[in-house]
Amino acid sequence: MVRKMEWAGKANHLLGLPRKTVITAVGSFAKAVALLLNSTTVHNADTLLNLVRSRPPGVPLITVSNHMSTLDDPVMWGFKGFPTCNAELQRWVLAAEDICFKNTLHTFPQGKVYQEDEPIRRLKWGTASLIARAPVTPIVLPIIHHGFEKVMPEKYMFGRRPLVPLWNKDIKIIVGEPIEFDIAKLKQTAISISRSSSSFSKEGWPPFGPLDEAAQRCLYIDISERIRSVMEKMRVISKKPKA
């Protein structure tokens, strides 16, 4: 069914009207939930807005965040000032042109919803793979948020999510600073570590340039841990009461 609907997301189909209509509708929903039904505050929003609107030409931007509810995306982009309804600048994942990551992509490296207030666990390697394989090393911007677990709790009534978003909740979004990656250096480190370790199982991954399967695993672990460490520090700081 998804494949049959690919045409609806293409920018050149019917002058892009179906795409723009969907993006405007979803963007309006996000802003209604974030700003009208609930109270949303954003720390360091300018860093995100500047990178979305005016980063160097040809440089990709990958935003990564914790995953607190099924409404994180797109509602986390509904805060005041963010171009959620702009077909070129919005970042919610469902607008990807053919569900194949061809549009600007926000990722949830945890891989699933975690509503418990606990340390961020080991991240999935998909985000690390995107970073490592990008022709131009992307800017990676970490984001931590709280409150969406109250807007759309996983176990609200009879162990199920509510049918509609809850309201009068406080949503807090913290935008961090870009994480820099020297991919060439990280690849060399991964090769060195993989050659001195025999603990990696083999599943038949194809080579990635000079990296065999073990080196790729080392690379993805390194990148993922760097992201996880930054996000966890942000999570801890965000939970501290203000002086």
Judge contact between 208 and 216, C-beta under 8 A.
yes
Measured CA to CA, the distance from residue 141 to residue 115 in angstroms comes to 22
pTM confidence score: 0.88
Residue 170: which of 193, 191, 145, 189 has the closest Cα?
145
- Quick check: bond before 74 cis, omega within 30? yes
Predicted local distance difference test score (pLDDT) of residue 18: 81
Predicted local distance difference test score (pLDDT) of residue 111: 72
Judge contact between 230 and 180, C-beta under 8 A.
no
Burial of 106 (0-12, 13-18, 19+ CB in 10 A): buried
Phi, psi of 152 (to 5 degrees): -140, 75
Residue with tokens 């509708």: 25
Predicted local distance difference test score (pLDDT) of residue 190: 97
In angstroms and rounded to an integer, the radius of gyration of the C-alpha atoms of the chain is 19
Instruction: Print pLDDT tens along the chain (243 aa).
Output: 445 555 556 667 677 788 888 889 999 999 999 999 999 999 999 999 999 999 999 999 999 999 999 999 899 999 999 998 888 888 776 443 333 334 457 787 877 888 888 899 889 999 999 999 999 999 999 999 999 999 999 999 999 999 999 999 999 999 999 999 999 999 999 999 998 877 777 788 999 999 999 999 999 999 999 999 999 999 999 988 775
Predicted local distance difference test score (pLDDT) of residue 5: 52
Judge contact between 83 and 52, C-beta under 8 A.
yes
Write the CB contacts of 138 (distance below 8 Å, at least 6 apart in sequence): 59, 60, 61, 62, 130, 131
